[in-house]
Amino acid sequence: MKDLYQDLLRYYCFAIGELPDKDKFLQAMKETVTREELRVFFLLPFNGSIAEKKLFSRARRAGIDEKEFNRRATRLVEQGMIMRYTRPGGRTYERGNIVHMSEQ
Protein backbone atom coordinates (compact mmCIF):
# COMPACT_ATOMS: atom_id res chain seq x y z
CA MET A 1 0.00 0.00 0.00
CA LYS A 2 1.26 3.46 -0.90
CA ASP A 3 2.65 5.51 1.99
CA LEU A 4 0.85 8.84 1.73
CA TYR A 5 2.92 10.34 4.53
CA GLN A 6 6.10 9.72 2.51
CA ASP A 7 4.35 11.28 -0.50
CA LEU A 8 3.53 14.31 1.64
CA LEU A 9 7.14 14.58 2.75
CA ARG A 10 8.33 14.42 -0.88
CA TYR A 11 5.77 17.07 -1.86
CA TYR A 12 6.92 19.53 0.81
CA CYS A 13 10.62 18.84 0.11
CA PHE A 14 9.96 19.63 -3.54
CA ALA A 15 7.91 22.73 -2.70
CA ILE A 16 10.24 24.31 -0.14
CA GLY A 17 13.48 22.33 -0.19
CA GLU A 18 14.94 19.79 2.20
CA LEU A 19 13.33 19.70 5.62
CA PRO A 20 15.82 19.79 8.52
CA ASP A 21 14.24 16.96 10.54
CA LYS A 22 12.18 14.71 8.31
CA ASP A 23 11.44 12.19 11.07
CA LYS A 24 9.91 14.84 13.32
CA PHE A 25 7.92 16.23 10.39
CA LEU A 26 6.55 12.78 9.56
CA GLN A 27 5.64 12.12 13.18
CA ALA A 28 3.87 15.49 13.44
CA MET A 29 1.91 14.78 10.26
CA LYS A 30 0.88 11.34 11.52
CA GLU A 31 -0.39 12.98 14.72
CA THR A 32 -2.15 15.77 12.80
CA VAL A 33 -3.84 14.20 9.76
CA THR A 34 -5.22 10.79 8.95
CA ARG A 35 -4.41 8.70 5.94
CA GLU A 36 -7.98 9.25 4.72
CA GLU A 37 -7.51 13.02 4.95
CA LEU A 38 -4.31 12.73 2.93
CA ARG A 39 -6.28 10.94 0.22
CA VAL A 40 -8.35 14.14 -0.08
CA PHE A 41 -5.23 16.33 -0.02
CA PHE A 42 -3.74 14.43 -2.95
CA LEU A 43 -6.90 14.88 -5.03
CA LEU A 44 -6.01 18.57 -5.27
CA PRO A 45 -3.81 19.76 -8.12
CA PHE A 46 -0.12 20.19 -7.39
CA ASN A 47 -0.42 23.90 -8.13
CA GLY A 48 -3.41 26.21 -8.43
CA SER A 49 -7.03 25.72 -7.52
CA ILE A 50 -9.81 23.38 -8.57
CA ALA A 51 -13.56 23.93 -8.69
CA GLU A 52 -15.54 22.06 -6.06
CA LYS A 53 -17.68 20.27 -8.65
CA LYS A 54 -14.60 18.88 -10.41
CA LEU A 55 -13.08 17.92 -7.07
CA PHE A 56 -16.27 16.06 -6.06
CA SER A 57 -15.98 14.12 -9.32
CA ARG A 58 -12.38 13.16 -8.51
CA ALA A 59 -13.42 12.15 -5.00
CA ARG A 60 -16.22 9.91 -6.30
CA ARG A 61 -13.79 8.17 -8.67
CA ALA A 62 -11.49 7.62 -5.65
CA GLY A 63 -14.37 6.06 -3.70
CA ILE A 64 -15.03 9.05 -1.41
CA ASP A 65 -18.63 10.24 -1.25
CA GLU A 66 -19.50 13.93 -1.04
CA LYS A 67 -20.40 13.87 2.67
CA GLU A 68 -17.15 12.16 3.60
CA PHE A 69 -15.18 14.45 1.30
CA ASN A 70 -16.68 17.52 3.01
CA ARG A 71 -15.87 16.15 6.47
CA ARG A 72 -12.25 15.43 5.56
CA ALA A 73 -11.77 18.66 3.60
CA THR A 74 -13.15 20.76 6.46
CA ARG A 75 -10.66 19.17 8.82
CA LEU A 76 -7.81 19.86 6.38
CA VAL A 77 -8.93 23.48 6.06
CA GLU A 78 -8.84 23.78 9.86
CA GLN A 79 -5.30 22.35 9.84
CA GLY A 80 -4.21 24.79 7.11
CA MET A 81 -3.29 21.99 4.73
CA ILE A 82 -5.81 23.08 2.14
CA MET A 83 -7.47 26.39 1.37
CA ARG A 84 -11.14 26.78 0.45
CA TYR A 85 -12.46 29.90 -1.24
CA THR A 86 -15.88 31.04 -2.35
CA ARG A 87 -15.61 32.87 -5.65
CA PRO A 88 -18.21 34.20 -8.09
CA GLY A 89 -18.10 30.89 -10.02
CA GLY A 90 -18.48 28.80 -6.85
CA ARG A 91 -16.28 27.23 -4.23
CA THR A 92 -12.69 26.27 -5.07
CA TYR A 93 -9.91 24.43 -3.25
CA GLU A 94 -6.12 24.42 -3.38
CA ARG A 95 -3.25 23.02 -1.39
CA GLY A 96 -2.23 25.20 1.51
CA ASN A 97 1.16 26.79 1.89
CA ILE A 98 3.36 25.04 4.45
CA VAL A 99 4.11 28.42 6.06
CA HIS A 100 0.39 28.97 6.64
CA MET A 101 0.02 25.42 7.93
CA SER A 102 2.82 25.89 10.47
CA GLU A 103 1.05 28.97 11.87
CA GLN A 104 -2.08 26.98 12.74
For residues 95 and 101, which has the higher predicted lDDT (pLDDT)? 95
What is the per-residue pLDDT for 1?
67
For the chain, helix, strand, coil in percent to 5 are 60, 15, 30
> 66-79 and 52-61 are packed helices; what angle lies between their axes, rounded to 10 degrees?
120
Amino acid at 35: R
DSSP state of 24: H
What is the per-residue pLDDT for 21?
87
pTM of the entire predicted model: 0.87
pLDDT in tens, 4-21: 999 999 998 888 888 888
What is the per-residue pLDDT for 101?
54
Q: Mean of the pLDDT values across residues 37-56? A: 95
DSSP state of 6: H
Q: Answer yes or no: are the C-beta atoms of 104 and 98 closer than 8 Å.
A: no
What is the per-residue pLDDT for 104?
47
For the domain 4-102, what is the CATH code? 1.10.10.10
